[in-house]
Chains A and B, each alone.
Chain A
Amino acid sequence: MTDQNIPIYRRGVEEVVKKSVDEYGKQKWDIEHKIFDKQEREDEEYDKNNPRYTKSLQARTDSVGIDEQIGRKRNVVKEGLKKDQSGFYCELCDELATDSLSWLDHLNSIMHNRLLGMNMKVDKVTVLDVKEKLQQIKESTTKTQVQAQEKPKSIDEIRKQLEEQLQKKKEKKQKKQSNKLQNALTKNDEQEIDEDDLKLKQFLKK
């Protein structure tokens, strides 16, 4: 079983299922332990042509959303699907975390990131990238400062904006009310017809 060519620290064991048929025609599934080279597998992950390829680790840009659920009400099941229970639910891994810190632990875990198609190693960065980034941030901050200085809003502009917003709200309310009225009218008509039909049927039965 042992391959002498692979050094001991590189050996990994893998289970392989082998199907066979007995003398009497009975099916059999035997598990065989196969030894493979760990380093070869790792190299495969960094090779772009390989289906095992995973991209390097990238930081999250959007927030995790722990604070968004504060002050919200939700119906919760005590026993049942993990999705409906209380806590943070991960749809990718079908896993439930009851605590914010354990939720973050799950998001940083190897299995979760593997499902997202990433390995746990970070790209190497050169000096030029850092220089560019520093300049970018400087330019963006100066731009925002200039914009803030250029446009101090006058009171009339702010009043106009507020009036426009109020008008939009009013229009929305009117639309909603008109829709409600129409719905109610159509429903009433249907009900009347139904009642008439019932009366007729009862009359005919007698």
Chain B
Amino acid sequence: MDDDEQQEKQHLANDGRQMTLIDQIIRNKVFNCRYWKEDCFGLTAVTLVDKACKLDCVGVTYSGTGKPLPFLCLLMKLLQINPEKEIIIEFLKSKDYKYISALAMFYIRLTSKPKEAYPAIEQFYADFRKIRIRNLDGTFAIWHMDELAEKLLNEENIFGISLPRYQKRWILEEQGQLEPRKSVLEEELQNQESVVQQKEQEQEQGQVQKEEKEQIKSRSRSRSHKKHKKNNKHHSHHRK
């Protein structure tokens, strides 16, 4: 109980000063960069969508001096204007623009509790769209959405941003706060199992019928004869 209360207090404290979730060194770089001053001034959640549509890559800073990327600037803007949860969920759902949903994933990981963040981010485990990523040294790389989701949930540090600590998933499951994860493949697996069971049943029925027939009919065929034939075929195949 004490741990829960402490966590809730932490999250409540973040409401007033959410910008402090990102370290001061990176924060000051953002405030002094041109994109922040020119393009991010006076944005609301609606006008932010215009900018977020034009994003090229996911990343935080690049080069030796640590220039902030537009992705980080927009993330800081989201932290500053602190929109409603429903708006962030709307960003997550937008399937036409993958970088908007990546932005929302980052925001949820930074601000919300593990109870809500796990199911929200885990739905991207079934998403295999490619995204361009800029590393800290300025080089580009290709990831997929499920990779990003997995790294956000399981790692403590991503692109130099230190993420708030989350409890492991199995601990939350044991405490009863979370239900075990349902994968998309589960339905197919169940279908397959049912199909396999049906086949087995049919086979069993068929075998029973065959045995009955064999019992009725003659038992002249010997198994040794069959084996002999097979072996012959096998050898001939090799010689070719």
| A residues with CB within 8 A of B | 57-60, 64, 66, 100-101, 104-105, 107-108, 122-123, 125-127, 129-131, 133-134, 137-138, 141
Contacts and interface: CB of A to CB of B under 8 A. Distances in A.
A130 B129 CA distance: 23
Nearest to B100: A134
B34 A133 contact: no
A107 B45 CA distance: 21
B32 interface: yes
B49 A137 contact: yes
Contact of B38 (A58, A104, A138): A104
A126 B87 CA distance: 8
Contacts of A130: 45-46, 49, 87, 90-91
A117 to B, nearest CB: 14
Given A137-B53, A138-B96, A141-B96, 7 more contacts: A59-B44, A125-B44, A127-B87, A129-B45, A130-B46, A130-B91, A134-B90
A122 B42 contact: yes
Contacts of B81: 122
B66 to A, nearest CB: 17
Contact of B37 (A57, A58, A104): A104
Interface string B1-41: 00000000000000000000000000000001010011001
B50 interface: yes
A126 to B, nearest CB: 8
A82 B23 CA distance: 40
- The main secondary structure of chain A at its interface with chain B is helix
Nearest to B84: A127
Nearest to B94: A134
Interface in B67-111: 81, 83-84, 86-87, 90-91, 94, 96
B38 A57 contact: no
A59 B43 contact: yes
A59 B87 contact: no
Nearest to B40: A59
15 contacts: A59-B42, A60-B41, A101-B32, A104-B37, A105-B37, A107-B41, A122-B42, A122-B81, A125-B45, A127-B87, A130-B45, A130-B46, A130-B87, A130-B90, A137-B50
B194 to A, nearest CB: 39
A88 B106 CA distance: 38
B222 interface: no
A101 B34 contact: yes
A58 to B, nearest CB: 6
Contacts of A141: 96
B215 interface: no
A57 B41 CA distance: 9
A59 B84 contact: no
A141 to B, nearest CB: 8
Contacts of B220: none
Nearest to A124: B44
Nearest to A142: B96
A58 B42 contact: yes
B139 interface: no
- Give the interface centre of A60, A108, A130, A131 by most chain B CB atoms within 10 Å: A130
